[in-house]
Structure 1
Amino acid sequence: MAIIISTNGKKTVKVDKSAFDKEDHLQKYIYENPESIPLYEIKEDIRLLILAREFPTNSGPIDAIGIDQYGELYIVETKLYRNPDKRIVISQALDYDAVLWKHSKDFNEFLGVLDQHTQQVFGLRTTEKIKNFFGLSDEEVTATIDKARNNLNNGIFHFVVLMDKLDDRLKDLILYVNQNSQFDIYAVELEYYKHEKHEIIIPKIFGAEVKKDLGTKSLNKKYWDWNSFKQRLSEFGKEEVLVAEQILNWANKNNIEVDWSTSQRGGFFLCFYTKNDKGFYPFSVSGDARLGWNAPHQGNKSPSPFDKLENRAEILKRLSSIEGAIVDLNNVDGFNGLKLPLRVLADENARLKFFSVCSWIKETLEVEK
């Protein structure tokens, strides 16, 4: 197929279809021009932000991982027609889906890997880039991240394969998978033309025409309380349940608010308030039996004095005295700044040190003007 280019209706030029020489060229083009993927045919207002290229997994690197403003996650792969690997597109999609789903056991680790990519390319952490790219408020960013966490927990991804030519066998298979599962696969055929300094891309998406009615139960929020969360933690052991209960009791006794998560994984946040009722929630107890470091969510938007990096770092320094806590002071605003399994706090001395840090945070916020 060829296209005709003209200038003011004159000087017409016939331009024949070109080919991408290498998959790397196609990967780079999409990474820099994500709007070339016609996701608007799935939903009109979707915008795609590519967060990482060559994302490492145990099954090999994923070409690109993206997110939209609703927290939907996208796995993007490129396959040239002459590459015989196109025949295993479906199995590769399922493989990547499974290996990413494993990250649901530690969403902070998943975000940490993304942070490495976004900081290298954009000079921003993932949450900051999402906020700037989509123009979201702090609350909207938190909701988007929570939705991404839920999707990761439930293994819900959109697999997008970009090809220079799409064959009928793959079309049939995509139709079948999309019609009969909660897994989404889209194939995008890219017609590529080059004329002088200009590149022309004509994208055609396949798979978006399938409308599902499989229910949205797994996408709904889950509302947790102590009884349901205790049952979740019991899968890890009695120590984890006891520690979580002791943290809850201590928080209630010391007038520290507890906010329950609505994620599929479950958990609660410890929220410390200033005199002006501005909340600071640096810690969470999650359904994967860990004490989470959540200060990066607020970062320099935290209430004073924790809006300063050195003061957030001071929290981690104090926690580093707990034997068994892994603290990374070079990653204060990364979710891997702290790794602390709940069972570590089964030790009374370790638990008292944690409560001492919490008391210091509370007192610091209460005296701050």
Structure 2
Amino acid sequence: MRYVLVKEGESIRKVEVAEFGEERMLQEMTERHPEVLSIPSSGSIVPLVKEYSVNTGSVDLIAFDESGRIYLIETKLHRNFDKRKALAQLIDYASQIAMHDTFEDFKEKIHRKVGKTLEEIVKERFGENYEQILNRLKTAFDREDFALVLVMDELDAPLKDMILFLNRHSDLSIIGVELRRFVLDEKTEVFVPTVVGVEIPKKGDNLGSPITPEEFIKRYSQAGLGEIAERIIRSFRSAEEIFDDVRIVPTPQYLTLRIRDREIEIYIKADPGGDHGVWVKNRDLYEAIKQIGDNLGLETNIPTDDTTFAKIIKFNGIDGLKKVVDKLDRLIEELVNVSAEME
């Protein structure tokens, strides 16, 4: 939209689009008035923290809504930034949060940056219902349920196509907002948003929702592996009942067993032919966990670079699953024990 028509008395005035003088203007508008983005949400979108730091930079704004959904918002002016790079940067930031920050890290960073705890912020906004909202936020964070929002003063056709394509063919949730500014007079401005990427149907069933045990078993049964799926679920549930620091966290693509708040994670992909294994966040555990895998006759690897979240034990594909399923209970127990020894 390059102009709007304004009726003044009996005449019509054509008002051309006005540029945002600085990127800061677009950022401040987004932060102070997130409703101007016109993103469908559960209640109002509430700004949480600006310039949230990750290993590769900082997210311009993180916000949330009443459902607990978390919005990672980046604002860019089209003249200052390559549009495809802006989208790649946003995905990069989301991956850094998902791979390296626990929910406790998330809360601590907010506290340091804002000067208030997450609990205080949510309570100020939602009053008596704040504990329920906090639980929803934690669930969304653990499931990596982030809405990636790219706000620009102009979205070109190729960028819109990329957003639609990624939403359709992945479990990412990407929203593009083109926010046009029109200055009617010294006191009046009009902002017109165009939203791209909301409610795009996924290619495949339930790609956007965490997989249920029933769906997990169904997919494995289609490959003749229903019994293996049932044994994996039994092992995960048993571990969750026995050990205090263990819990099952399903995502759209994986059934995950999380040990000590993401220090160690066992990923079993919903596609039995996919990549499965043990991911480790604490580098001090790499050698010990490699030894566990070696003792169980599983494939292991320690990265030679400074990676801080690595797949140390691998049991990829159907053959890998068949190899690990009889050893899964022992593997979980030893992972829990080695993690506890680090306390």
TM over 0.5: yes
* CA shift in 2, pair 1:171/1:346, >3 Å: closer
Q: 1:260 to 1:141 in 2, by over 3 A?
A: farther
Task: Give the direction of change, closer, same or farther, for the CA distance of 1:11–1:73 in structure 2 (3 Å limit).
Answer: same
| Cross-structure match for 1:185 | 174
Q: Counterpart in 1 of 2:191? A: 201
1:29 equivalent in structure 2: 29
Q: 1:150 maps to which residue?
A: 142
- Find the aligned partners of 1:346 and 1:73 in 2 and give their Cα distance: 34
Structure-1 separation of matches of 2:340 and 2:65:
38
Q: State the shift of 1:112 in Å.
A: 0.5
- Indicate if the aligned counterparts of 1:118 and 1:126 stay in contact, CA closer than 8 A: no
Partner amino acid for 1:108?
A: E
Deviations 1:53-94 (A, max 9, x none): 111112112111111212222111112121242131332232
**Using the alignment, how far apart are the partners of 1:86 and 1:67 within structure 2?**
25
> Are residues 135 and 100 of structure 1, via their aligned partners in 2, closer, same or farther at CA, if it must alter by over 3 Å?
same
Work out which of the residue numbers 61, 65, 74 in structure 1 matches 2:62.
65
Secondary structure of 1:219's aligned partner: coil
Counterpart residue identity of residue 100, structure 2 = H
Residue 216 of structure 2 aligns with which residue? none
Inter-CA distance 117–220: structure 2 relative to 1 (3 Å threshold): farther
Measure the CA separation in 2 of the matches of 1:226 and 1:259. Answer: 17
Report deviation, 1:167: 0.7
Distance 1:209 1:177 in 2: 12
Q: Percent identity?
A: 27
TM-align CA RMSD:
3.8
Q: 1:316-327 maps to which residues of 2 (within 5 A)?
A: none
Structure 1: which 4+ aligned runs deviate by more than 6 Å? Answer: 265-268, 341-345
Q: CA 1:101–1:6 in structure 2 vs 1: closer, same or farther (change >3 Å)?
A: same
Residue 125 of structure 2: aligned partner: 133
Range that drifts further, 108-117 or 177-186:
108-117
Q: Is the 8 A contact 1:182 1:214 kept in 2?
A: no
| SS of structure 2 residue aligned to 1:61 | strand
User: Which AA in structure 1 matches 2:189?
Assistant: E
Question: Partners in 2 of 1:91 and 1:286 — Cα distance?
Answer: 28
The alignment status of 1:3 with 2:4, answered yes or no, reads yes
Gaps of 5+ in 2: 214-232, 251-255, 265-335
Shift of 1:219: 2.5
Query: What secondary structure sits across from 1:137 in the alignment?
Result: helix
Q: Give 1:205 shift.
A: 0.3
The Cα shift of 1:143 comes to 2.1
1:219 to 205, 210, 222: 210
Q: 1:183 to 1:161 in 2, by over 3 A?
A: same
Q: Deviations over 1:316-347 (max 9, x none)?
A: xxxxxxxxxxxxxxxxxxxxxxxxx9979759
In the TM superposition, residue 164 of structure 1 has moved relative to its aligned partner by 1.0
Hey, what does 1:91 align to over in structure 2? 88
The separation in 1 between residues aligned to 2:7 and 2:125, in whole angstroms, is 35
Give the match's secondary structure for 1:127.
helix
The answer (yes or no) to whether the contact 1:146–1:263 under 8 Å persists in 2 is: no
Aligned residues: 248
Q: Deviations over 1:202-231 (max 9, x none)?
A: 111011151235416863689xx9963785
Structure 2 counterpart of 1:29, one-letter code: M
| Equivalence for 2:104 | 108
Deviation at 1:198, TM superposition (A): 2.2
The question of 1:288 aligning with 2:263 is answered yes
Contact 1:150 1:219 in 2 (8 A): no
Three-state SS of the structure 1 residue aligned to 2:82 is helix
Q: Are the counterparts in 1 of residues 6 and 13 from structure 2 also a CA contact under 8 Å?
A: yes
Task: State the distance in 1 between where 2:212 and 2:119 align.
Answer: 21
Measure the CA separation in 2 of the matches of 1:21 and 1:198.
Answer: 16
CA contact (8 A) 2:75 2:151 kept: yes
Distance 2:6 2:181 in 1: 14
CA change 1:23–1:15 in 2 (3 A) is same
How far has the Cα of 1:27 moved from its partner? 0.7
TM-score, normalised with respect to structure 1: 0.56
What is the CA-CA distance between 1:126 and the residue it aligns to? 1.4
Aligned partner of 1:163 among 152, 167, 171 = 152
Answer whether contact 2:63 2:72 (CA < 8 A) is retained.
yes
Structure 1 segment 74-85 matched on structure 2, within 5 A: 74-85=71-82
TM-score, normalised by the number of residues in structure 2: 0.60
- How far 1:129 moved relative to its partner? 1.4
